[in-house]
A and B are shown apart, each in its own frame.
Chain A
């Protein structure tokens, strides 16, 4: 089982969600987050006063899937979240030791 965390541009969320649903992903967790990557922040001016924008708003998607699905999910996120501009985000894939569905007590692949 793999746990996939993707940081994407907020306006790409709908496209990514639809692509993952089409793949058969059963659920996901989405959070509004702020962060920066290699491009760092930038400086803006409002009413004559400069300020640094260090953290840009992003969306974090978290999905747990069967190991054999992981590559397809990563590819779907990559294809649908990409604009080609700086700040498109990143995807992290980690292994999962255990999954439990709280209501039924099912575990691992049965719980996904």
Chain B
């Protein structure tokens, strides 16, 4: 009886897997049907597919070719979108909010919340169109999408996109919106404690349109980096190197906080940061596994890789700090976890668990050195280590993706160390360099323009007294 049940379940899973594979994008094309059953059991797809399960002989070849909305994929992508939104509010808001001094907590929370709102609206107006639709000019399409999705006009109830053919375009637009939200919001870590809120909101808006949208298009929307074959599963360069670079430029343009190097700027409440980092960690499964844009074998492996790399990075940061500074700080442990999440972001979906482990260990050590020691050597005030963790972690992850990507995990990828494709390293380098250079120049110009019209930095008295009471008229404790 038990055997029969198992057999039934397996048959059901084979059919479901076949449907998922047929319905999914190119990510799953290399999956052999023979290995599908065991993996598909873990996927929510079986419950969602209405197809009859009695025939275990169905194969991908037997399925019709036209893309069709898959309810399992859609359910997973709705969940993923909500998870990624949770990363910014409240995840990132608490992570950063706990790390600043008590006089600037609300101002920091307001940055995450304000970014969420302004970017949502701008994404609806034109952002999605610029990043994820085709430009009618093929050469311009290498760099920026079209404008015909202004106000999401063509996105009807039943619309789909070739970028994610098995889910409604409304879901894909929402999913990508949550990425567009967190990327600029991450920059707030570098500019904490000293930027005007008005300037910040302008910065979020302009940076989204002129830096994030083009770069997202380059890699994911059909632009030159994607065409070149750059591997960035969930945004190691598009999201993290991009935000980190912008953070580095912003903290250089703004200058150091008043009292930096003299006053104690230690976090006012690390328990908020621990909660925030933990929410980021959980939400990141939507970020990485969701980036499969289907509920398939690739999503499962991406989730596993994410969990492994994150824990490994937290440990490697913790042990590095324990060795060098004699104490394993809580801030170090949670920063290490975020560093691991960042570094595995481009790689998840391309690497196997062994690759994930190595990437995680490397991320903890490299980001510890960059956030604590490199920052001290060069003397820039990257207040909450947006560059040290996201910039360095994103660049490291992108390069290691080239090294550890495995054709056995994803038919789209052929890495250097496992598949002997050394050329991939060069492509990954173009990806890193292209994003860094464009982002640095774009961010610098945007900041200078805002400085001209609005002014970037608060007055010295305001900074000393605190942003909460001066910019928002409120205090976290009255």
Decide: B266 and A46 in contact? CB cutoff 8 A.
yes
Please tell me if B376 contacts chain A, counting CB pairs below 8 Å.
yes
Decide: B331 and A51 in contact? CB cutoff 8 A.
no
Q: Give the residue of B262, B263, B264, B373 whose beta carbon is less than 8 angstroms from that of A48.
A: B373
Within 8 A of A (CB), among B337-370: none
Within 8 A of B (CB), among A6-58: 44-53
| Residues of A close to B262: CB separation below 8 A | 50-52
Q: How many residues of A contact B (CB 8 A)?
A: 10
Name the residue on A nearest B325 (C-beta). A45
Chain B min CB distance to A43 (Å) = 9
Decide: A51 and B373 in contact? CB cutoff 8 A.
no
Decide: B261 and A51 in contact? CB cutoff 8 A.
yes
Q: Which interface residue of B264, B381, B385 has the most chain A CB atoms within 10 A?
A: B264
| Residues of A close to B331: CB separation below 8 A | 47
Chain B min CB distance to A73 (Å) = 36
Decide: A49 and B260 in contact? CB cutoff 8 A.
yes
Interface string of A58-80 (1 = CB under 8 A from B): 00000000000000000000000
| Residues of A close to B372: CB separation below 8 A | 47-48
Please, how many angstroms separate the alpha-carbon atoms of A47 and B371 in the complex? 7
Please tell me if B265 contacts chain A, counting CB pairs below 8 Å.
yes
Please, how many angstroms separate the alpha-carbon atoms of A48 and B370 in the complex? 10
Q: Give the residue of A44, A48, A50, A51 whose beta carbon is less than 8 angstroms from that of B371.
A: A48
Please, how many angstroms separate the alpha-carbon atoms of A46 and B384 in the complex? 12
Decide: B373 and A49 in contact? CB cutoff 8 A.
no
Interface residues of A, dominant DSSP: strand
Interface residues of B, dominant DSSP: loop
Within 8 A of A (CB), among B240-279: 260-266
Please tell me if B375 contacts chain A, counting CB pairs below 8 Å.
yes
Decide: B373 and A50 in contact? CB cutoff 8 A.
no
Decide: A49 and B261 in contact? CB cutoff 8 A.
yes
Please, how many angstroms separate the alpha-carbon atoms of A3 and B373 in the complex? 50
| Residues of B close to A53: CB separation below 8 A | 264
Interface string of B105-126 (1 = CB under 8 A from A): 0000000000000000000000
Please, how many angstroms separate the alpha-carbon atoms of A104 and B95 in the complex? 57
Please, how many angstroms separate the alpha-carbon atoms of A50 and B263 in the complex? 8
Name the residue on A nearest B259 (C-beta). A51
Chain B min CB distance to A94 (Å) = 34
Name the residue on B nearest A49 (C-beta). B265
Name the residue on B nearest A46 (C-beta). B266
Chain B min CB distance to A3 (Å) = 34
Within 8 A of A (CB), among B422-449: none
Please, how many angstroms separate the alpha-carbon atoms of A15 and B331 in the complex? 35
Decide: A48 and B376 in contact? CB cutoff 8 A.
yes
Chain A min CB distance to B260 (Å) = 7
Please, how many angstroms separate the alpha-carbon atoms of A44 and B264 in the complex? 9
Decide: B376 and A46 in contact? CB cutoff 8 A.
no
Chain B min CB distance to A104 (Å) = 40
Please, how many angstroms separate the alpha-carbon atoms of A45 and B331 in the complex? 14
Name the residue on A nearest B332 (C-beta). A47
Please, how many angstroms separate the alpha-carbon atoms of A44 and B326 in the complex? 13
Please, how many angstroms separate the alpha-carbon atoms of A46 and B262 in the complex? 11
Please, how many angstroms separate the alpha-carbon atoms of A45 and B373 in the complex? 11
| Residues of A close to B373: CB separation below 8 A | 48
Chain A min CB distance to B258 (Å) = 13
| Residues of B close to A51: CB separation below 8 A | 261-266
Please, how many angstroms separate the alpha-carbon atoms of A51 and B376 in the complex? 12
Sample (14) of A-B pairs whose CB atoms are under 8 Å apart:
A45-B376, A46-B265, A46-B266, A47-B372, A48-B372, A48-B373, A48-B376, A49-B375, A50-B261, A50-B262, A50-B376, A51-B262, A52-B262, A52-B263
Which chain B residues have a beta carbon within 8 Å of chain A's beta carbons? 260-266, 329, 331, 371-373, 375-376, 381, 385
Which chain A residues have a beta carbon within 8 Å of chain B's beta carbons? 44-53
Q: Which 3 A-B pairs have the closest CB atoms?
A: A48-B372, A51-B264, A48-B376
* Contacts beyond the supplied A47-B385, A51-B261: 11 A-B pairs with Cβ under 8 Å: A46-B264, A46-B265, A48-B371, A49-B260, A49-B261, A49-B381, A51-B262, A51-B264, A51-B266, A52-B262, A53-B264
